[in-house]
Structure 1
Amino acid sequence: MTDNRDDSLEQRREALSAKLAARERSEAVETAKEKQSEESRKGMALGLKISSEFIAAIAVGGLLGYLLDRFAGTGPWGMIVLLLLGFCAGVLNVLRALGMVAQPGSFGDGDHKGGS
């Protein structure tokens, strides 16, 4: 009778450990999926930020060029020059966001040569 009871406990323990291992595997898979979707969301957010900054810089340059041409009567030259400057500013913002260009003021903040 004791052997039967010990066998029954051993079988239940093995069944529970198998269920626990299966549950841990499924939780690990879910955690991996959540991590991947979080990375995807971060990439999407960065892409939207970069594209909106790029488009805004071009739009502001074009608007300022139009206003300059309208009030100063300079023809298309104000629009052309400021639209190109807006495009350059947009490209610079994209490069800064990607970390390919240093942020302004990051060089020489604490390095003052000369006496004070």
Structure 2
Amino acid sequence: MTGNRNDSLEERRKHLADELAKVKSDDEAERRSEQNAQESRKGFALAIKLSSEFISAIIVGAMLGYLLDYFVGTSPWGMIVLLLLGFCAGVLNVLRSAGVVAKPPLLEGGLGQDKSGKQGD
């Protein structure tokens, strides 16, 4: 009777170990899936940020050009020049956000501050 009971316990232990291994593998697969989804969300957020910075710079340049043409009467030259400047500013903003171009020293350390953070005179 004791032998039969030990066999039954061993069988249950094996069954529980198999189920535990299955649950662990499912958890690992779910963790990897969540990690891939998180990386995709980060990439999507970066793409939205870069595209919005680029488009907003172009729109601001076009609006300023239109206003300049409207009030000064230089149509279409104000729109052309400021639209091109907006395009260049948009490209520069995208490159800065992507880390290809360094930020200007004044923006990096704050206006009028040295590298230690003290206010300059």
The reply to whether TM is greater than 0.5 is yes
TM-score (norm 1): 0.90
SS of the residue corresponding to residue 17 of structure 1 reads helix
- For 1:110 and 1:15, locate their aligned partners in 2 and report how far apart those are by CA, in whole Å: 64
1:35-82 residue CA offsets vs partner (Å, 9 max, x unmatched): 111111111111111111101100000000010011011121111111
Which residues of structure 1 form unaligned runs of 5+?
Answer: none
Percent identical pairs in the alignment equals 60
Q: Which amino acid aligns with 1:39?
A: E
Partner of 2:3: 3
Partner of 1:91: 91
Which residues of structure 2 form unaligned runs of 5+?
Answer: none
Partner of 1:110: 115
TM-score (norm 2): 0.86
Q: Which amino acid aligns with 1:27?
A: D
Please tell me the root mean square deviation across aligned C-alpha atoms, in Å. 1.6
- For 1:25 and 1:100, locate their aligned partners in 2 and report how far apart those are by CA, in whole Å: 40
Q: Which amino acid aligns with 2:58?
A: I
Partner of 2:19: 19
- For 1:97 and 1:110, locate their aligned partners in 2 and report how far apart those are by CA, in whole Å: 22
